[in-house]
Structures are given as structure tokens and as C-alpha cells.
């Protein structure tokens, strides 16, 4: 949840807007039919290895200011107490780093990431998409921040070859139930699998399943928690749309998830539990959160716990050969120019590349340090990479993990 306030006086920029072309409408109309209870597809990875590599990252927010520099910006009005137009966030960024070309192309926001994808060639790419993709006008009442991206800008997600968007977070319902339904239609119409939100509770709880020719399947479950700002009112219930809400970190909840996973998992599958949990700031991992992650691995046969919500990367643990990313940080957003919490370096993030062996154990975890600048993902400068290295080693010490920085300025995780 985005709880930072804009410091200082910012002009409330209002006025006309560039009306985005509704080029996504025809593509998504067919997808508007009732979705299947599992989001499923087949991917054909490169042959020659029995190992499977996932790409994971933190929150990807392509709405608000970023939406405004893309080819089809949506309406700019906001209902935030300190900003009344999304153009204000563009102005803040330009004040800090200079004018932004407008419009940028769809691939622009990914910056240096495609080169890393080409170098590492992950089999599956999964992100937490933290924005609604909609033109809906039903802003959720009483909520201070509302993110949305125009549906015609969905090619900015497909431009990175993203296979799956997890949606159980505190922004997917920012523009109400119509906004959620349109988000689901647009993503599915673009060929992107979704998990964690749906038109009813069964659809919200269902995993995304990515079938890999010759390498089994990746099964992605997505959960949202109140600790990360997901309102309980957003929980899908019966035939009511919403998110896959995790009420607590109890053994009972973990055992309930275990039953779901046992019903879906086959031999050779890699199961991802993607959880929007915890506060935005701080490095301390609550005991109940760590115990829950362990129980998901021990009792639910989860292969990787993908945590997000924190605005900065947190510690990594490997439990019984299975990685736990407690918090992946913000991978892309429009916060440039917003001051506060600089000691956490929220401009820095990581691309996580997790490689599993044929038995489903972690064989390698490589990370590429990145920096958000000019509304795009950039390779982190040397000082930023060194800062991340120190932080990961400091925070990983209680979990017996550390990183080695290799000559190409990427990291390799070491654990015992």
C-alpha cells in the first residue's frame, strides 16, 4: 500500500486530457465471457536443460504518472488529498531528472530489463501488477490512493514477455468491481495469466498454471493480506468478485492452503505462493510471517514464497532447499521526486532469477540490481549495487544467507 505523502506544495494540475484510444476494447470483448477457473497456458522453453528458471520481482505499478507518458493516457483526475491530477507525478519526476519524452513506446518502461531477460532466458516471468487496468470511474470510497492504467496501454506488460500477473494486492480494486472485471478481461485478452483475483471466490483462489514443454508446470497461487493494506471488504466471497484474501498467518490458514495445493500439484510442478504481506518500510520480519512461510514449505509443498509490499528489498531465506523472498521491493513506479524514507533507498530493486533442479530444489538464485529512474527500470549504478550488497548481507545474516557480487555487477546467493 502506498502510504507516503507528497512533501511540500504541489500545484493541483487539472484540465483536459489526451483521450486514450480504446484499441484494447475489441481484443478484450471476447475475453469478457466467463473466465475458466484456472488461468492456464503452454510455454515452449529453450531445450537442452532439465533445470527451470523463474523471474520474479516486486511491485510493478504502470498506472498514474507512468500511464500518462504511455501512448494512450487515461483521464488524469485523482482523489488524493495532496494531488488532484496524475500529471503532478510526471511533473515531480521531470523536476528531479529532466523532461520525459511523451509518448514513450510500450517497451520503454522496462529499460534494461529485456537485455537481462535475453541473457538469463528465464522460462517463466511473474510480476505483482499493482494497478487496475481500466477506464472505470468508480473510485473505491475512503481510499486515499487509486492506481489505474488505460487498457490500451496493456502492451507495456506484454512487451516484457510477462507470463503471469498476480493480483491479490491493495490496488487491483482501486476503481471498484467494474474496474476489477475490466482488468481481468484486458489481461486475459492479452494472453497474460492471472492469479489472486476473480469474479467469484473460486476464480480468485484458483492458481495460474503455466505448462512448460518438457519441464513440467509452474503453478502460481496469489494471496493478499490486511497487513499489506488489502481491505477485508475486498475478499472474494461466493459470487462476489474480489481478491484471494488471506485472513491471518495461522496454522489453520496454512493447512487450508495446503489442501488447495495438494488438489492442484502434480509431480514435477513448481508451486509459487505469491503473498502481498507486511508493512511498506522496515527490515524486521515478524515471527508469525516467518513461521507461516516455513509451514507453507513444510506442509503445503510450496517451492518458493514470493513476498511483496515493502517498498525496498528485504532478507532472503532458504528453508529446506526452498527460497523465501520476504520482500522484493518496488520494481517500477512513479515515485520519482517524492521525498521521504531515503535511508531505505526505495529507488533500488532486484531482478530475481531462481533456478530449480529436476527435484524441485533451489539450484541457483541470481539477482540483477536495478534502479527506478525516469519511469523505467535501469541497471543500478555501481554505488547502488554496493549498497544493495551490503544490505542483503546484513539482513541475510540471521537467515544464514549472503550474496557474492560477480564481475558483471550481479549477485549470487549463498546459503547453508
pLDDT tens, residue by residue, 299-347: 999 999 999 999 999 999 999 999 999 999 999 999 998 988 999 999 9
CB 208 within 8 A of CB 193: yes
Q: Which three three-digit cell numbers place residue 194? A: 492471472
CA–CA distance from 187 to each of 32, 79, 150 (Å)? Answer: 11, 25, 12
Confidence band, pLDDT 50/70/90 cuts, at residue 25: very low
- Point out the least confidently predicted range of 46-55, 167-176, 254-263: 46-55
Confidence band, pLDDT 50/70/90 cuts, at residue 146: very high
Confidence band, pLDDT 50/70/90 cuts, at residue 12: very low
Q: What is the pLDDT of residue 38?
A: 56
Q: How far apart are CA 360 and CA 321, in angstroms?
A: 9
Pairing of β 83-85 and β 52-60: unpaired
Evaluate if residue 75 carries a pLDDT over 60. yes
Q: How far apart are CA 228 and CA 287, in angstroms?
A: 16
Q: Which three three-digit cell numbers place residue 79? A: 482523489
CB 253 within 8 A of CB 246: yes
Q: Where are the beta strands (DSSP E) in 86-176?
A: 124-129, 132-133, 148-149, 164-166
Domain edges within the chain: 23-63+106-415
Q: How far apart are CA 145 and CA 139, in angstroms?
A: 9
Counting Cβ atoms within 10 Å, is residue 287 exposed (0-12), middle (13-18) or buried (19+)?
exposed
In this prediction, residues 52-60 reach a mean pLDDT of 98
Q: Which three three-digit cell numbers place residue 169? A: 494486492
Rg (CA), the chain: 20
* Greater pLDDT, 253 or 45: 253
Q: How far apart are CA 159 and CA 324, in angstroms?
A: 28
Confidence band, pLDDT 50/70/90 cuts, at residue 50: confident
- Point out the least confidently predicted range of 11-20, 92-101, 223-232, 375-384: 11-20
Q: How far apart are CA 116 and CA 11, in angstroms?
A: 38
Instruction: Provide the mean pLDDT of the chain.
Output: 91
At the topology level, CATH places domain 23-63+106-415 in Purple Acid Phosphatase; chain A, domain 2 (3.60.21)
Q: What is the pLDDT of residue 44?
A: 63
In this prediction, residues 12-20 reach a mean pLDDT of 32
Amino acid at each position: 500500500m502506498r502510504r507516503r505523502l507528497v512533501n511540500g506544495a504541489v500545484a493541483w494540475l487539472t484540465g483536459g486530457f489526451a483521450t486514450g484510444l480504446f484499441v484494447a476494447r475489441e481484443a478484450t470483448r471476447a475475453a469478457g465471457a466467463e473466465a475458466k477457473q484456472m488461468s492456464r497456458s503452454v510455454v515452449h522453453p529453450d531445450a537442452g536443460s532439465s533445470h527451470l528458471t523463474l523471474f520474479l520481482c516486486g511491485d510493478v505499478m504502470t498506472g498514474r504518472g507512468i500511464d500518462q507518458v504511455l501512448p494512450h493516457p487515461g483521464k488524469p483526475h485523482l482523489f488524493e488529498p495532496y494531488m488532484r491530477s496524475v500529471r503532478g507525478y510526471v511533473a515531480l519526476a521531470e523536476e528531479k531528472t529532466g523532461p520525459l519524452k511523451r509518448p514513450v513506446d510500450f517497451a520503454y518502461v522496462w529499460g534494461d530489463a529485456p537485455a537481462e531477460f535475453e541473457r538469463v532466458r528465464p522460462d517463466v516471468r511473474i510480476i505483482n501488477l499493482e494497478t487496475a487496468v481500466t477506464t472505470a470511474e468508480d473510485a473505491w470510497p475512503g481510499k486515499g490512493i487509486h492506481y489505474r492504467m488505460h487498457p490500451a496501454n496493456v502492451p507495456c506488460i506484454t512487451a516484457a514477455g510477462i507470463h503471469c500477473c498476480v493480483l491479490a494486492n491493495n490496488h487491483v480494486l482501486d476503481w471498484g468491481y467494474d474496474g476489477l472485471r475490466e482488468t481481468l478481461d484486458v489481461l486475459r485478452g492479452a494472453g497474460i495469466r492471472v492469479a489472486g483475483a476473480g469474479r467469484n471466490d473460486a476464480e480468485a483462489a484458483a492458481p495460474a498454471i503455466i505448462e512448460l514443454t518438457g519441464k513440467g508446470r509452474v503453478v502460481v497461487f496469489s494471496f493478499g493480506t490486511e497487513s499489506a493494506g488489502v481491505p477485508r471488504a475486498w475478499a472474494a466471497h461466493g459470487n462476489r468478485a474480489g481478491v484471494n484474501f488471506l485472513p491471518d498467518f495461522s496454522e489453520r490458514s496454512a493447512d487450508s492452503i495446503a489442501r488447495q495445493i495438494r488438489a492442484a500439484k502434480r509431480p514435477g510442478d513448481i508451486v509459487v505462493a505469491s503473498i502481498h504481506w507486511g508493512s511498506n518500510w522496515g527490515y524486521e520480519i515478524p515471527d508469525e510471517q516467518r513461521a507461516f512461510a516455513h509451514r507453507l514449505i513444510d506442509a503445503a509443498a510450496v517451492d518458493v514464497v514470493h513476498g511483496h509490499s515493502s517498498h525496498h528489498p528485504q532478507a532472503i531465506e532458504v528453508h529446506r532447499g526452498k527460497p523465501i523472498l520476504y520482500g522484493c521491493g518496488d520494481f517500477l513506479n512513479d515515485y520519482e521526486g517524492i521525498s521521504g524514507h531515503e535511508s531505505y533507498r526505495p529507488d533500488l530493486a532486484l531482478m530475481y532469477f531462481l533456478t530449480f533442479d529436476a527435484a524441485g530444489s533451489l539450484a541457483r538464485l541470481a539477482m540483477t540490481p536495478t534502479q527506478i529512474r525516469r519511469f523505467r527500470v535501469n541497471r543500478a549504478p555501481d554505488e547502488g549495487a554496493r549498497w544493495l550488497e551490503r544490505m542483503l548481507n546484513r539482513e541475510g545474516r540471521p537467515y544464514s544467507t549472503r550474496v557474492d557480487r560477480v564481475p558483471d555487477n550481479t549477485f549470487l546467493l549463498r546459503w547453508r
